[in-house]
Structure 1
């Protein structure tokens, strides 16, 4: 992101005889960096708007930010001989907070009128996180929650990068405070060597950690601060050493254009959202370095002539706002008009972002940034921040009032759910439940009480429900979230039975033979097997296929695991065919596109690719009990988002707990027939 703060000072340093500089760095204005900023911002916007991909532009912002903030810090030390936290943080706040508070306030106002109910609470949390610069951690925890990762994106999700920058600036204050302390304490003269050593250690350690964590937990690695420090460090190292790097003008011309072309292609060549910030991020980093190095030479056909042109420099000055505004406009458009903008609408979004950024910079940011009266500036910031807090409080109050209103009871007559598929015309006309604002949080009990296993854990966690003493039988629900979402049906089906119910589930982990023993998923599966071997379990209920793949090997590995438990542990098995999965968020579509359009989208593609495997399994395997519930997701042969006045899906593949519970009579009959016949 572009911050006006990070423009390099055009004024010369104080003479050496007045004050000895920390180290000598180039402080001249670099117009090509301004142009690089706007290229990065526009790449982010273009990839978001039309390609629905991540461009790698944010990584370039991080390199530029490292370069420019290091220039600013060293220049301040060279000029004053000291490094004051108060002056440093005051300058940052005056340049960052006006735009941030302004945009977040507008988002809150628009959210009240234009945001789908189901995304409102998520947006409020993320606005608050963005105000206090921890949005990246908010998203990190959300992205590693398997069921939360599929929720709709908020209009402020992109603030994660700004939060990392804010945290980085604080880290860099500590780094240079440490450097000054070491220099003064030990009277060091080789200052540049010390700075390079410390920055080099940060670069190497963060880069290695980034590669490791991207390989083992990429969603977590993508958002956390430590995996991004190397990108800032790279820019800082470039700042410290740029004056020592000499290249001829021909090489400068070539690498400059190569850098720009490579940067534009980053999001096409790589799936950035799934591969970054590991070693693949070296690509856009190198592109940015090429462009900066190219700008050290004046060449007739070099990239500097383009990036340093008056128009690009002007746009570079507002690129921070372009980055922040484009996503806000895009998401509100998607929620209220259509998912993917056309060429004309996309261009209008970009033009609007430029216009809003210009107005915001000129009339809100610039007056506070340039004000020499800190009391005036911070009183205005306090007003903006207070307005946002009041808006957040008002939205939360309204949500609380809405949720406190008496809710209709889901009786089987008015809300039969799955039981209505055979006689849909007999269902009374009622507003569907849960309310769309509550659907996303309509979760299985195991997910609410924490007995579902998280993606980072392999130790077994078992949830115990129903009768826990003197029970007649034990039923274990085993597998991934596609097993877990049947817990509602299982608990309601056995409510009046003397059964103990165990939940043994782990998000994203099928009960399958397809994992290696040293993989977290494989370790968990082995732990589950050991538990089942030693525990008195009468029946295992589990997802037996994956509807999003026709790969028979994947399907067979689940059957093999269930067959193993049946044969080796002598435990009865109820194998459930996977419920339908979709290529879009059903809840989001219901709120933005409406019922009829959602039904059309649901029936355009193959939602159950396990069809041929399941038919073969049903005809050939006679030792496992089976249950295919596919017909309970259709009316007249068409998949539906709402049946029997109950909303079926909370995202693109998981059932609401309410719809799961409507299967209780079906599960009760099946389970009792299995247990009472054995």
Structure 2
């Protein structure tokens, strides 16, 4: 290969630097004041695809080769200094300023961020990026950086394969080959992204495969930009349309619920317009603004602005107030800029610009080791606190739900689980993977209790609002000769309200098909949703349970849904205190299913029912802690410990039903 692999413009593009800072500031502004997603991250992905492809092809043109270690070494020197430094600061501040209830989650996400799999960590932990009821860690935004790191490795493999094919098969139409490979990658990733966004948007938001097309679009622009001709008037118009459209993205679309499906084309097209406009220097073009000295300098630290703003914002939220005012929000942005400048000058540049690789990687090694030591120290400290608490636990001091109707005589104790353990106080089906996630409609069954020579089988069916009663059922049946099955799927009610073509509907049909043949004596399931007063939704749940009773003759225990809240009860309890949380809980209409439940309770005699509302109240008021046990993991899901305290209540009810069956 004596000629360039392909002709690309490798010159410095000042307007792209300006676009980077616009994207970073949009992300910060929408996060701080609107608790919304701006589409700025999608622009970052397009720019990254454009720039890394330019760099790769320029390297191949210059050196006639493309080797892994020089490529990765350059990336590590560019990315790791900032990542390791910010994560170290987060770890130190977290011990002193972060609620203990979110500390364990933070540690896991810091570790995932260090090794660039944070997006998968969030996907598997069922995180919803902007759900205000979920507690957020100061490093949750590192998901985008993790995808970017994974993309760089994917792109190395793609271009290594392309270069190998060119040399082995003497390919002459190199541009056509690259466009074909990237085109196939773009189309397949885009189709998958649109599909998965429609069936499981929170999962689609984080995983790598649904984002590859965004990087690919930037790469395709890099390859084909020299062939795209626009006159200077069109370029000026496209540039300003791109800027205006980009700013409006977060206003026009609910990005956190619609991305990364086809709607993501909006901000990405805006980015393409801006890059296209930069091919001409015009008096009134957007390039003059984006390519100005100030914007270029800020563009050089846009990476840092993105990383710092969320860290500062989350520590402020946990220690001062949920939503910053204008002045405080502005100070967060200014502080992010200042910290980025200092970090770039004193942390990044000495490592990145050093010609001594040993010096650079020795520093990176020290920084990474410090982070690992900090993680270990925090985990040890948390375990010491937990062990101290566990040594104080007795059944008498921690009756949980049994104390709701008779709270007198219960000594005040430090509540359990400890705040550092509440987030992970999950039902057994969640811990062993029996609970299904939204990307799967096949039936997954958890089996507990007596698995051979049992007298009866109890099947717990439904969404997470059924699943969180598993602890109660296992506790209730621990001395009985019963088998317990868990057939649960996140976000999926056992209901007639889904289409047969929808994954949730398919799962419901699979459950019914299983029950038709299965040896099940009693079904336990959530029968209402307390966050809606829509009778149709409630009736669809009851209708499904009634159909199982009528068609298969299986007994049913229908559970009224527990109270739900618009805020994270656990976060409020730790940061606002008990009295404030009680006040907030009782200021909301947290059981909108009241009217339907009373009608169902009085008019349906064929299904067994249980209303546990009174076990969430003390003296007529809803409480976040009863019997010295914390009730909620978030705004609606029970801790497994509190669920287990319902054991005697469920034991009486289950045995009462089964004695008429066996």
Band the TM-score falls in, shorter-chain normalisation: over 0.9
Q: Would the alpha carbon gap of residues 502 and 175 (structure 1) be closer, same or farther in structure 2, given more than 3 Å must change?
A: closer
Give the CA deviation at 1:42. Answer: 0.5
Q: Would the alpha carbon gap of residues 522 and 170 (structure 1) be closer, same or farther in structure 2, given more than 3 Å must change?
A: same
Structure 2 equivalent of residue 7 of structure 1? none
Q: Determine helix, strand or coil for the equivalent of 1:76.
A: helix
Give the CA deviation at 1:518. Answer: 3.3
**Aligned with residue 659 of structure 1, among 633, 642, 647:** 642
State the alpha-carbon separation in 1 of the partners of residues 79 and 494 from structure 2: 49
Give the CA deviation at 1:337. Answer: 1.8
State the alpha-carbon separation in 2 of the partners of residues 235 and 438 from structure 1: 43
Please say if residues 145 and 455 of structure 1, whose CA atoms lie closer than 8 Å, have aligned partners that are also in contact.
no
> Which residues of 2 match residues 565-580 of structure 1 at below 5 A?
565-580=548-563
Give the CA deviation at 1:37. Answer: 0.4
Would you say 1:636 and 2:615 are equivalent positions? no
When normalised by structure 1's length, the TM-score is: 0.92
Please say if residues 386 and 418 of structure 2, whose CA atoms lie closer than 8 Å, have aligned partners that are also in contact.
no
State the alpha-carbon separation in 2 of the partners of residues 188 and 362 from structure 1: 45
Tell which deviates more after alignment, 285-294 or 375-384. 375-384
Structure 1 equivalent of residue 18 of structure 2? 35
Give the CA deviation at 1:36. Answer: 0.5
> Which residues of 2 match residues 193-212 of structure 1 at below 5 A?
193-212=176-195
State the alpha-carbon separation in 2 of the partners of residues 472 and 198 from structure 1: 60
Would you say 1:340 and 2:323 are equivalent positions? yes
Please say if residues 322 and 357 of structure 1, whose CA atoms lie closer than 8 Å, have aligned partners that are also in contact.
yes
Structure 1 equivalent of residue 70 of structure 2? 87
Give the CA deviation at 1:244. Answer: 2.0
Please say if residues 196 and 237 of structure 1, whose CA atoms lie closer than 8 Å, have aligned partners that are also in contact.
yes
Please say if residues 458 and 521 of structure 1, whose CA atoms lie closer than 8 Å, have aligned partners that are also in contact.
yes
Structure 2 equivalent of residue 60 of structure 1? 43
1:207-264 alpha-carbon deviations (Å, 9 max, x no partner): 2222222223322222222222211111112112222222222222221111111111
State the alpha-carbon separation in 1 of the partners of residues 617 and 239 from structure 2: 57
**Aligned with residue 98 of structure 1, among 81, 85, 100:** 81
Give the CA deviation at 1:465. Answer: 3.4
Please say if residues 448 and 485 of structure 2, whose CA atoms lie closer than 8 Å, have aligned partners that are also in contact.
yes
State the alpha-carbon separation in 2 of the partners of residues 612 and 281 from structure 1: 41
Q: Determine helix, strand or coil for the equivalent of 1:20.
A: coil
Would you say 1:675 and 2:658 are equivalent positions? yes
Would you say 1:559 and 2:542 are equivalent positions? yes
Please say if residues 104 and 421 of structure 2, whose CA atoms lie closer than 8 Å, have aligned partners that are also in contact.
no
Q: Would the alpha carbon gap of residues 20 and 457 (structure 1) be closer, same or farther in structure 2, given more than 3 Å must change?
A: closer
State the alpha-carbon separation in 2 of the partners of residues 400 and 665 from structure 1: 30
> Which residues of 2 match residues 100-249 of structure 1 at below 5 A?
100-143=83-126, 151-249=134-232
Q: Would the alpha carbon gap of residues 496 and 242 (structure 1) be closer, same or farther in structure 2, given more than 3 Å must change?
A: closer
Would you say 1:505 and 2:488 are equivalent positions? yes
State the alpha-carbon separation in 2 of the partners of residues 399 and 536 from structure 1: 44
> Which residues of 2 match residues 218-297 of structure 1 at below 5 A?
218-297=201-280
Give the CA deviation at 1:472. Answer: 4.3
Q: Would the alpha carbon gap of residues 458 and 179 (structure 1) be closer, same or farther in structure 2, given more than 3 Å must change?
A: closer
Q: Would the alpha carbon gap of residues 535 and 225 (structure 1) be closer, same or farther in structure 2, given more than 3 Å must change?
A: closer
Q: Would the alpha carbon gap of residues 199 and 669 (structure 1) be closer, same or farther in structure 2, given more than 3 Å must change?
A: closer
Please say if residues 128 and 134 of structure 2, whose CA atoms lie closer than 8 Å, have aligned partners that are also in contact.
no
Q: Determine helix, strand or coil for the equivalent of 1:265.
A: helix
Please say if residues 132 and 568 of structure 2, whose CA atoms lie closer than 8 Å, have aligned partners that are also in contact.
no
State the alpha-carbon separation in 1 of the partners of residues 243 and 651 from structure 2: 63
Give the CA deviation at 1:412. Answer: 4.5
Q: Determine helix, strand or coil for the equivalent of 1:609.
A: coil
Give the CA deviation at 1:286. Answer: 0.4
Q: Would the alpha carbon gap of residues 464 and 164 (structure 1) be closer, same or farther in structure 2, given more than 3 Å must change?
A: closer
Structure 1 equivalent of residue 428 of structure 2? 445
Please say if residues 382 and 420 of structure 2, whose CA atoms lie closer than 8 Å, have aligned partners that are also in contact.
no
State the alpha-carbon separation in 2 of the partners of residues 191 and 598 from structure 1: 64
Would you say 1:494 and 2:474 are equivalent positions? no
Tell which deviates more after alignment, 453-462 or 27-36. 453-462
Please say if residues 133 and 567 of structure 2, whose CA atoms lie closer than 8 Å, have aligned partners that are also in contact.
no
When normalised by structure 2's length, the TM-score is: 0.94
Give the CA deviation at 1:627. Answer: 1.5
Q: Would the alpha carbon gap of residues 321 and 145 (structure 1) be closer, same or farther in structure 2, given more than 3 Å must change?
A: closer
Q: Determine helix, strand or coil for the equivalent of 1:584.
A: coil
Matched positions, count: 660
> Which residues of 2 match residues 70-81 of structure 1 at below 5 A?
70-81=53-64
Q: Determine helix, strand or coil for the equivalent of 1:465.
A: strand
Q: Would the alpha carbon gap of residues 144 and 96 (structure 1) be closer, same or farther in structure 2, given more than 3 Å must change?
A: closer
Structure 2 equivalent of residue 621 of structure 1? 604
1:319-342 alpha-carbon deviations (Å, 9 max, x no partner): 110001111111111222222111
Q: Would the alpha carbon gap of residues 677 and 186 (structure 1) be closer, same or farther in structure 2, given more than 3 Å must change?
A: closer
Q: Would the alpha carbon gap of residues 553 and 129 (structure 1) be closer, same or farther in structure 2, given more than 3 Å must change?
A: same
State the alpha-carbon separation in 2 of the partners of residues 662 and 628 from structure 1: 16
Please say if residues 193 and 211 of structure 2, whose CA atoms lie closer than 8 Å, have aligned partners that are also in contact.
yes
State the alpha-carbon separation in 2 of the partners of residues 566 and 501 from structure 1: 18
Q: Would the alpha carbon gap of residues 160 and 144 (structure 1) be closer, same or farther in structure 2, given more than 3 Å must change?
A: closer
Please say if residues 326 and 349 of structure 1, whose CA atoms lie closer than 8 Å, have aligned partners that are also in contact.
yes
Please say if residues 132 and 567 of structure 2, whose CA atoms lie closer than 8 Å, have aligned partners that are also in contact.
no
Gaps of 5+ in 2: none
State the alpha-carbon separation in 2 of the partners of residues 529 and 603 from structure 1: 38
Would you say 1:372 and 2:355 are equivalent positions? yes
Q: Would the alpha carbon gap of residues 263 and 430 (structure 1) be closer, same or farther in structure 2, given more than 3 Å must change?
A: same
State the alpha-carbon separation in 2 of the partners of residues 305 and 32 from structure 1: 8
Please say if residues 256 and 294 of structure 1, whose CA atoms lie closer than 8 Å, have aligned partners that are also in contact.
yes
Q: Determine helix, strand or coil for the equivalent of 1:424.
A: coil
**Aligned with residue 521 of structure 1, among 488, 501, 504:** 504
Tell which deviates more after alignment, 56-65 or 218-227. 218-227
Give the CA deviation at 1:129. Answer: 1.6
Q: Would the alpha carbon gap of residues 174 and 635 (structure 1) be closer, same or farther in structure 2, given more than 3 Å must change?
A: same
Structure 1 equivalent of residue 298 of structure 2? 315
Q: Would the alpha carbon gap of residues 72 and 558 (structure 1) be closer, same or farther in structure 2, given more than 3 Å must change?
A: same
